Amino acid sequence: MKESPPLRTPENSCARCGACLPVCPIYRVSGREELSPRGRMGVIELGLDDRRAKKALAACLLCGACESVCSRELDLTGKITVAREKITDPVDAGITAAAKISRMQRTLAPMARLIARATKILPRESGLRLKLGIGVPALPPEVKASPGGGGSELLPGTIAVFSGCFAAWLVPNILTATTALLRILGDTPHIAEGQGCCGLAAVSSGHGNTARTLARRNIAAFPGTGPILTPCASCAHQLRQYPRLFTADPHWQHRAIAFAARIREFSAFFTDPDRIAALKPCLSPQPAPLKTFCHDPCHLRFFGRDRTRKSRDLLRLVAGLDLNEFHHRPSCCGMGGAFAIKFPDLSRRIIAPAITELRERKAAVLTTACSGCLIQWQKRREEAGIDLEVVHPAILLARRL
């Protein structure tokens, strides 16, 4: 067989092949090369730093779809994240202040109550402030814990829980449901004091120092070696990314690696065969079925070991739900951290086909295990005026206990 000619670009750079274009949600709705993964790689590799280049870097959902098909297996989201940290004003790139405020008001009007509550109760350093458009999070206080690591183990049968800002502050029912499920299985949930925002919004907006401070605080809040369960798929992803934040700090990187290995995502945790067997008999029979759809968070579809099958297994096998599948191909919901705030029109266009399908098929429930996706679906549901319950799977399960 004749060998293919060698690619002319260096190994760790974009081959310009275009395999990533069809899967990029932004390219699909915009059709613009500079907003494609290949375009962003061009910006990074050429070291461009003008307004258009900054917008290209800012207008990325960090969904990971491009990485899953890249012919060079490039770490695109890692490269884009690092590049964002180097540009001066990554959050506001390409948007004037007036335009930003008017867009925010339009975008957030349907979520007024949630926003009002969030403004009052969210900690100053919560990344949800960025996602909800109510300000840039403050730099959190530096962790005071000894840098030695280790710490005491929890008692056997105790499961540490990382809440995430959404469940901790805005929708505590998610946390109540998660801990109820743990108790049914005979585990004792432990919501560690001192934990805070996972830092995903900070890192994806180019605020690396804030993300590192948040990471150090969370690592220090969870001593020991046992599993750490989180009900949010995006938090799970970010907590597992902590070692990447400390490439220049071997001591904290060592601790971050041990911490990351302990993280358990909600659906994957509860679809362990022993837990399924224990949970199933505790659930009351399925009441009259509601037409339920499951949205797959990108952090489950494209990253790590918790694939989407787990969410479906949990809802089908354990809860006995008759899940409906979308006819259109699965897609990012268009949230992307602060993306939905910065680029509301693109964000709306990304989710529009799914909203239309749910309306036409008279869906009653949309469930997803990611706080960012839950915010986006709630917001777009209200904008579209459709009667759809948007709910975390923990709540669906706990209702039947």
In the complex, the smallest distance separating the C-beta of residue 64 from ligand SF4, rounded to whole angstroms, is 6
Contacts of 225 (CB under 8 A, 6+ apart): 153, 258, 262
Query: Segment contacting ligand SF4 (CB under 6 A): 48-56, 72-80, 97-105, 243-251?
Result: 72-80
Please tell me whether residue 219 binds ligand SF4 under the rule CB under 6 A.
Answer: no
- 41 or 174: CB nearest ligand SF4: 41
365 forms beta bridges with 292, 389
Task: Give, in order, the Cα–Cα distances in Å from 16 to each of 6, 43, 188.
Answer: 14, 13, 52
Residue identified by tokens 């109510």 is 134
CB atoms within 10 A of CB 26: 29
Phi, psi of 33 (to 5 degrees): -55, -40
User: Rounded to whole angstroms, how far apart are CA atoms 224 and 240?
Assistant: 16
Please tell me whether residue 60 binds ligand SF4 under the rule CB under 6 A.
Answer: yes
In the complex, the smallest distance separating the C-beta of residue 307 from ligand SF4, rounded to whole angstroms, is 18
Please tell me whether residue 243 binds ligand SF4 under the rule CB under 6 A.
Answer: no
Please tell me whether residue 297 binds ligand SF4 under the rule CB under 6 A.
Answer: no
**Can you tell me which of 29, 44, 56, 74 binds ligand SF4, judged by CB under 6 A?**
74
H or E segment to which residue 188 belongs: strand 188-191
Please tell me whether residue 164 binds ligand SF4 under the rule CB under 6 A.
Answer: no
**Can you tell me which of 44, 54, 64, 84 binds ligand SF4, judged by CB under 6 A?**
64
Please tell me whether residue 71 binds ligand SF4 under the rule CB under 6 A.
Answer: yes
CB atoms within 10 A of CB 42: 18
- 214 or 298: CB nearest ligand SF4: 298
160 three-class SS: strand
Contact set for ligand SF4, span 167-186 (CB under 6 A): none
122 three-class SS: coil
Please tell me whether residue 41 binds ligand SF4 under the rule CB under 6 A.
Answer: yes
**Can you tell me which of 26, 181, 260, 279 binds ligand SF4, judged by CB under 6 A?**
26
CA angle 289, 379, 52 (to 5 degrees): 135
What's the gap between Cα 346 and its chain centre? 18
Query: Segment contacting ligand SF4 (CB under 6 A): 63-71, 286-294, 310-318, 378-386?
Result: 63-71
Please tell me whether residue 62 binds ligand SF4 under the rule CB under 6 A.
Answer: yes
**Can you tell me which of 30, 77, 195, 376 binds ligand SF4, judged by CB under 6 A?**
77
**Can you tell me which of 56, 66, 171, 390 binds ligand SF4, judged by CB under 6 A?**
66
In the complex, the smallest distance separating the C-beta of residue 69 from ligand SF4, rounded to whole angstroms, is 6
189 forms beta bridges with 159
366 forms beta bridges with 293, 390
Please tell me whether residue 355 binds ligand SF4 under the rule CB under 6 A.
Answer: no
User: Rounded to whole angstroms, how far apart are CA atoms 91 and 112?
Assistant: 23
Please tell me whether residue 43 binds ligand SF4 under the rule CB under 6 A.
Answer: no
Contacts of 188 (CB under 8 A, 6+ apart): 155, 157, 158, 159, 182
228 forms beta bridges with 160, 263
Please tell me whether residue 18 binds ligand SF4 under the rule CB under 6 A.
Answer: yes
Please tell me whether residue 42 binds ligand SF4 under the rule CB under 6 A.
Answer: no
In the complex, the smallest distance separating the C-beta of residue 65 from ligand SF4, rounded to whole angstroms, is 4
Please tell me whether residue 65 binds ligand SF4 under the rule CB under 6 A.
Answer: yes
H or E segment to which residue 78 belongs: helix 76-86
Single-letter code of the amino acid located at 114: L
Please tell me whether residue 15 binds ligand SF4 under the rule CB under 6 A.
Answer: yes
- 77 or 368: CB nearest ligand SF4: 77
102 three-class SS: helix
> Which two structure tokens, joined as six digits, stand for 345?
């029109």
In the complex, the smallest distance separating the C-beta of residue 52 from ligand SF4, rounded to whole angstroms, is 15
Query: Segment contacting ligand SF4 (CB under 6 A): 37-45, 161-169, 192-200, 220-228?
Result: 37-45
Site of interaction with ligand SF4 (CB under 6 A): 14-20, 23-26, 37-38, 40-41, 60-66, 70-72, 74, 76-77
